[in-house]
Structure 1
Amino acid sequence: MTLTFVRSARRAQLVEAAIRSLADLGVEGASLSRIAEHAGVSRGVVNYHFPGGRRELFEAAVDEIYDLGRREVQPETESAPSPRRGLASFVRGSVAFYARHPIHLRALTAIYTSRTEDSLRRDERTEHATEMMSVADLLRRGQATGEMRDFDVTLMALTIRAVLDTAVGLTAAGADPDVLADELVNTLDAATRALP
């Protein structure tokens, strides 16, 4: 094994420990010592791999969660045969992701809702902006092909994001993800599709 591989594996282990700590304890309780304990290492190991402290580690956790979401949701969304089907795939894939990874979503929610000095804001993250631009592009394509009606694309993209944010909470509270996804797909399709 190369040193780079070992370092990369250790960083991934620490990020996973941070995600679990954040989900269990929130930002306030997820100290570097607690994260080290979760990972089964000393705090010095955490400091070595994340010299920027908790904020750097939280940023790496957010990166990992978004990367996981992209890997699970993006391929089917991008390969959909039409914008309407792409929107349906994005919504279904997002809800399924929330259901499969509740720990990751609790950690992300903890990071974004905390008001500590090392917390992060979703609207400051490039991943969030990229996702919003992708949704807006999908909606514009739907309008260009005539599948979707005329509406303010930015407002609709924000509406879709708000609906999916609500789905995170509903999924965490035990809602059936398939039923929820069906309802959201039908609702958002009705809100966006062009009338015959």
Structure 2
Amino acid sequence: MAESFIAEARKEQIIQACIRTLSEIGYNKISLTKIAKNAKISTGLISYHFADKADLIHHTLMYLVADQLHYISECIEATKKGATEQLKAFIEASLAYQATHYENNVAMIEIVFNAQTEDGTPFYLLADKETDGLELLLTEILIAGKDKKEFATDFDPALVATIIQGAIGEIMLKNCNHEQYETYKNELTRMALKMLA
């Protein structure tokens, strides 16, 4: 039991170093040696936990996606109110994550737009084939609001979720201060609620 805990802690340390390295030098310059240097460990230790660079990159992307989904889901669960409040919480939590996890944002973009599968398919082309947990969560909130008549009934929840997610993603790499994020959050929330009225 202690060994698996230690192994998981070591894997997370390596993934965190991969995130930092991606954020600092980008995907095209990254190597296991540079990640090991960032983590202050040997390259062999990375190879013990991950098959190769592609395996580490894949695990890093899965970590980034899960971390963001966990953060936002917890904020929504804490709301315990109707769809309107959950939508507000979703927007606020999404933007708060963007503001407080800048390195993660850069690393995710570097992976999605530069990494490829073994057969040469760019990761960004896989997005259409994979279920997006955040978009699914937002769509469920919109469906619940529509069903309970908190929102209008004449809209496509999946399409509106894509629009809101697009607006949230647009600010991902803008290095905004707190006041700018607050303004963006308030405007996006106002516009989303107006669209659903």
Distance 1:116 1:69, change over 3 A: closer
1:177 aligns with 2:181: yes
Scaled by the length of structure 2, the TM-score of the pair is: 0.87
Q: Give the superposition deviation at 1:125.
A: 7.4
Aligned to 1:58: 57
Deviations 1:78-108 (A, max 9, x none): 3341111111100000000111111111111
How far apart, CA to CA, are the structure 2 residues paired with 1:55 and 1:48? Answer: 14
List gaps (5 residues or longer) in structure 1.
none
Question: In the aligned structure 2, how far is the partner of 1:21 from the partner of 1:81?
Answer: 40
Structure 2 residue identity aligned to 1:73: I
Secondary structure of 1:137's aligned partner? helix
Deviates more, 1:132-141 or 1:114-123: 114-123
After the TM superposition, which of the residue ranges 10-19 and 177-186 deviates more from structure 2?
A: 177-186
Q: How is 1:126-141 mapped onto 2 (pairs within 5 angstroms)?
A: 126=130, 129-141=132-144
**Quick check: 1:68 aligned with 2:67?**
yes
When normalised by structure 1's length, the TM-score is 0.87
AA at the equivalent of 1:10: R
Distance 1:46 1:105, change over 3 A: same
Residue 134 of structure 1: how far off its partner (Å): 1.6
Moved over 4 A (4+): 115-119
Equivalent in 149, 152, 155 of residue 151 of structure 1: 155
- Give percent identity, aligned residues only: 22
Q: Are 2:190 and 1:190 equivalent residues in the alignment? A: no
User: How many corresponding residue pairs?
Assistant: 190
Partner SS for 1:56: helix
Query: Are the structure 2 counterparts of residues 2 and 134 from structure 1 closer, same or farther at C-alpha, using a change threshold of 3 Å?
Result: same
Gaps of 5+ in 2: none
* 2: CA distance, partners of 1:21 / 1:145: 46
Aligned partners of 1:27 and 1:111 also within 8 Å:
yes
Q: Which amino acid aligns with 2:162?
A: L
Equivalent in the alignment of 1:96: 96
Give the match's secondary structure for 1:148: coil
Q: How large is the Cα RMSD of the aligned pairs?
A: 2.1
The answer to whether the 8 Å contact 1:28/1:116 transfers is no
| Partner AA of 1:132 in structure 2 | E
